[in-house]
């Protein structure tokens, strides 16, 4: 394959301007070259083409998330980190992908029984009851915040239950996590979250200690007794896994469902179609996954010289894959900007691909289906208060909604017992 001259484009993917126009920027970059060099943040490749993103993600030997942190002298941020976000010094690892391959494989084996279809089928009644209970609290008022009162708590409570954290503490962990992703790194919300991070880490270690003495049927109990090559996880590794699970569990599904509900309000015909034909939620879920691409990027490091998209990538180079860029590549998706619930095939990369593909994908789909059905069947005429609706700002890794107040025709509570 011929190697082209390096294509360098200088852009700040952390700036609010860039993030507000992330779709246009991804499209412009892809049209320039699916693999471009950005000299910012110590220099990194930004990959927006579907084929190129899939190539990187499938080859976890050449491109590994294991050596991600570059330190720049005199700077108080660590670049780039697995999340592609500069993280403050001292902030722990934030993903299981940073574990050594054999530890990573052991962690995936440990998580699978909690996340594969049989487990999802077993906890679905709990999710349904939780969703019904939360709507029951607001249905008679005819007004609520769809994010704060519904799409936020339901996945968070399931996450607490799966991990083995107290369900009643869902707000504590969800609010903390959201503060770290929904606002820019200079915002007071983010700064406050960083200041209480040591306390949160301490709490998690305490719960882990408790589970070590008294194991139960949850992920945390399995994590504290896991041995790989005769070694237990140390506290840093344990926190990295918990961080990943809490983040994956309390944030992404909330974002997917909130953004889908927001979109449907502006498209009443589609909303009506889904109310009348709930079975269409199955393909709609896949299309909303593609179209929202709430988990936008993953950053890896190149371990040996190679060529990608005609560009020469050198050992040690940082490579940021844009799942969002891939999911809007017109070479694979006709009319990529349009949300087409009948799109078929829909080979989106919203859950990633390769060794680090999301293990929580069945959980996420089930949560989406239950929450969408609950809203569409009980308060399907909701109207969004756009003026007071807020989206995430300042995060090139995750996209989502902070709040979405709505009004709707009041209904009757079903009267289910509180399930948590």
* 3-state SS, residue 144: strand
Q: Which residues would be at the binding site for ligand HEM (CB under 6 A)?
A: 95-97, 108, 159, 244-245, 248-249, 252-253, 256, 294-295, 298, 323, 350-352, 356, 358-360, 363-364
Decide: residue 268, CB within 10 A, 0-12 exposed, 13-18 middle, 19+ buried.
Answer: exposed
Nearer to ligand HEM, 183 or 291 (CB): 291
Tokens 């049927």 locate to: 217
Nearer to ligand HEM, 154 or 376 (CB): 154
Whose Cβ is closer to ligand HEM: residue 252's or residue 306's?
Answer: 252
Smallest separation (angstroms) from ligand HEM to the CB of 114: 8
Q: Least distance in Å: CB of 141 to ligand HEM?
A: 28
Is 139 or 402 the residue whose CB approaches ligand HEM more closely? 402
Of the pair 82, 139, the CB lying nearest ligand HEM is at 82
Residue whose token pair is 């694979």: 332
How many degrees, rounded to 5, is the angle at CA 377 between CA 139 and CA 407? 40
Distance of closest approach, residue 249 Cβ to ligand HEM, in angstroms:
4
Counting beta carbons within 10 angstroms of the beta carbon of residue 74, is it exposed (0 to 12), middle (13 to 18) or buried (19 or more)?
A: exposed
The rounded distance, in Å, linking the Cα atoms of 70 and 320 is 14
**Residue of closest CB approach to ligand HEM:** 360
User: What minimum distance in Å lies between the beta carbon of 360 and ligand HEM?
Assistant: 2
Rounded to a whole number of angstroms, the minimum distance from the CB of residue 412 to ligand HEM is 31
Orientation of helix 153-163 relative to helix 253-265, angle to 10°: 160
Q: Is 38 helix (H, G, I), strand (E, B) or coil?
A: strand
In angstroms, give the least distance from the CB of 100 to ligand HEM: 12
CB 342, min distance to ligand HEM, A? 21
Report in angstroms how near the CB of residue 171 gets to ligand HEM at its nearest: 18
Query: For residue 79, which phi and psi values (nearest 5 degrees)?
Result: -100, 150
Parallel, antiparallel or unpaired: strands 44-47 and 318-322: parallel
Tell me whether residue 95 or residue 405 sits nearer to ligand HEM (CB atom).
95
Closer Cβ to ligand HEM, 323 or 382, answer by number: 323
CA gap 350, 297 in Å, rounded: 10
Q: Which DSSP string do the residues of 319-367 spell out, in sequence order?
A: EEEEHHHHHT-TTTSSSTTS--TT-SS----TT--STT--TTHHHHHHH
* Cβ closest to ligand HEM, residue 27 vs residue 294: 294
Residue 80: cis peptide before it, omega within 30 degrees of 0: yes
């Amino acid at each position: 394959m011929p190697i082209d001259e390096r294509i360098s484009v200088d852009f700040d993917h952390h700036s609010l301007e860039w993030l507000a126009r992330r779709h246009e920027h991804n499209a412009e970059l892809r049209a320039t070259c699916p693999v471009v060099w950005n000299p910012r943040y110590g220099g990194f490749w930004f990959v927006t083409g579907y084929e190129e993103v899939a190539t990187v993600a499938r080859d976890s030997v050449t491109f590994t998330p294991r050596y991600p942190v570059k330190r720049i002298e005199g700077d108080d941020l660590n670049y780039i980190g697995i999340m592609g976000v500069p993280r403050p010094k001292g902030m722990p690892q934030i993903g299981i992908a940073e574990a050594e391959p054999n530890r990573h494989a052991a962690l995936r084996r440990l998580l699978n029984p909690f996340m594969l279809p049989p487990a999802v089928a077993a906890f679905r009644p709990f999710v349904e009851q939780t969703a019904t209970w939360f709507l029951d609290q607001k249905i008679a008022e005819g007004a609520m915040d769809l994010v704060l009162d519904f799409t936020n708590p339901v996945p968070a409570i399931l996450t607490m239950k799966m991990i083995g954290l107290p369900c009643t503490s869902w707000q504590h962990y969800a609010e903390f996590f959201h503060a770290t992703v929904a606002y820019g790194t200079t915002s007071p919300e983010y700064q406050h979250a960083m200041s209480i991070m040591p306390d949160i880490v301490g709490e998690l270690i305490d719960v882990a200690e408790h589970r070590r003495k008294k194991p139960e049927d949850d992920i945390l109990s399995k994590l504290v007794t896991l041995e790989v090559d005769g070694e237990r996880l140390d506290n840093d590794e344990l926190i990295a896994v918990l961080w990943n699970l809490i983040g994956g569990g309390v944030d992404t599904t909330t974002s997917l469902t909130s953004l889908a509900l927001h979109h449907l309000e502006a498209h009443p015909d589609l909303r009506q179609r889904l109310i009348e034909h709930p079975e269409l939620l199955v393909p709609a879920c896949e299309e909303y996954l593609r179209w929202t691409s709430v988990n936008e990027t993953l950053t890896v490091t190149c371990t040996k010289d190679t060529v990608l998209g005609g560009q020469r990538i050198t050992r040690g180079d940082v490579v940021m894959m844009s799942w969002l860029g891939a999911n809007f590549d017109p070479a694979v998706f006709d009319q990529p900007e349009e949300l087409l619930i009948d799109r078929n095939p829909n080979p989106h990369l919203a859950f990633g691909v390769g060794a680090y593909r999301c293990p929580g994908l069945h959980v996420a789909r089930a949560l989406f289906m239950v929450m969408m059905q609950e809203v569409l069947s009980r308060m399907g005429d909701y109207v969004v208060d756009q003026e007071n609706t807020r989206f995430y700002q300042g995060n090139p890794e995750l996209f989502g909604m902070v709040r979405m107040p709505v009004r709707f025709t009041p209904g009757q509570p079903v009267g289910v017992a509180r399930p948590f």
